[in-house]
Amino acid sequence: MGFLEERRQSEAEAEHGQDSPRDAIEKRHPVNVPGTGRLLALPQPVAPTTIRLHVVNTETRAIGLIIFGMLCITINDTLIKFLSDGYPLHQMVFVRSVIGLSASFVFLHMEGGRSLLRTDRPALHALRAGLIVIANMTFFAALAVMPLGAATALFFVAPLFITLLAIPVLGEPVGPPRLVAVFVGLVGVGVMMAPGVDWGEISRWNLLLPLAAAACYSGMQVLTRKLGAQSAASAMAIYIQGTFIVVSSAFFLVAGNGRFADDVSNEALEFLLRAWVWPATGDLWIFALLGLMSAMIGYTLSQAYRIGTASVVASYEYVALPLAIFWGWVVFDEVPQPVVWVGVALIAGAGLVVFARERAQERALASARPIRRG
């Protein structure tokens, strides 16, 4: 375009109240290019205050999501325990997952659509989904035979397991303070499972179920750190719900008629293998609520860990402990025995120390990281 043509276009655009290309450039932080007489448009610099506010707002949203997710988890666990006398575990898992999958597709549509389901790491997603399915089913089996608060307390060794797994899997350095905290937390587990502790009719083997769930959950969270930045929260929730449906359907095909439950003496195993029954009319709303909780849990936890700092987000998971004790007391009239309170204090205290050390390490790395220019 010659000078006269450029001038005429500028005048015409000015008559219509539009900025000419040159005016638009000048409003966009123009820079003269030496020797050319031309202007180069650069983006306006972002104020440091804006960056800080964005980080704070993101962390606040992540904390809100994880707290809401913990509320949904404890409600879900309470409903599972409430229904455990009349229905098999794999039936409850199937129904909640079908409803949860439908809700997860709504979240997927809100985040961008089916294209988000594409991934170049299907094996890791499958492993992550498998781990969370095992974690949930073993923990749900524990709920059928254990007090809600005690099962939740034993499960909360998961952050300590995550610390240990982060060494070989993520290559994260773990110093002596965190290792001591892990040891203290494991002492809390030992206190609760000591031979002299009276658990009534609860088998010692059943006390291992929350610990097995914690181990699988820890592996899932480590994989989430690898996958989270590249996958939408709704997509990860759909992978999990789909895996729940596949596994519970397989249980139905193999054991849905209850043929393996007759000769089983372990109450937790019987809960897993008993026959399907048609839900009572009064229980349908509970199944519907289970499905809604399932969708909310999958989305809120994945999203919280995607947008927030892992050590900050994980520390707020301990909100589930008082909530579980509260629901156990209100719904099932369960009051934790003194040894459970001691175990809770040791496990929760150790976990919070781990998160505090991780947060301090992240801040130190952030302050030492050089700022790249140009």
Write out the chain's pLDDT in tens, 374 residues.
544 444 444 444 444 444 444 444 444 555 454 555 555 555 555 555 554 545 557 888 888 999 999 999 999 999 999 999 889 999 999 998 998 888 888 878 877 777 777 777 778 778 888 898 999 999 999 999 999 999 999 999 988 888 888 778 777 777 788 888 888 988 988 888 887 777 877 888 889 999 999 999 888 878 777 665 566 777 777 888 889 999 999 999 998 888 888 878 888 888 988 999 998 999 999 999 998 898 888 788 878 877 877 767 878 888 999 999 999 999 999 988 888 899 889 988 888 888 787 777 767 666 655 444 33
Amino acid at 206: N
Asked if residue 96 lies in contact with residue 140, where contact means CB atoms within 8 angstroms, the answer is no
Measure the CA–CA gap between 247 and 132, rounded to whole angstroms: 12
Picking from 133, 187, 130, the residue whose alpha carbon sits closest to that of residue 160 is 187
Picking from 342, 306, 331, 337, the residue whose alpha carbon sits closest to that of residue 83 is 331
Other CB atoms within a 10 A radius of the CB of residue 59 amount to 15
Asked if residue 84 lies in contact with residue 144, where contact means CB atoms within 8 angstroms, the answer is yes
Q: How far is CA 137 from CA 10, 55, 192, 332, 359, in A?
A: 69, 36, 22, 21, 31
Picking from 235, 245, 246, the residue whose alpha carbon sits closest to that of residue 298 is 235
Measure the CA–CA gap between 251 and 117, rounded to whole angstroms: 26
Measure the CA–CA gap between 303 and 11, rounded to whole angstroms: 50
| Domain boundaries, given as residue ranges, for the chain | 3-41, 48-368
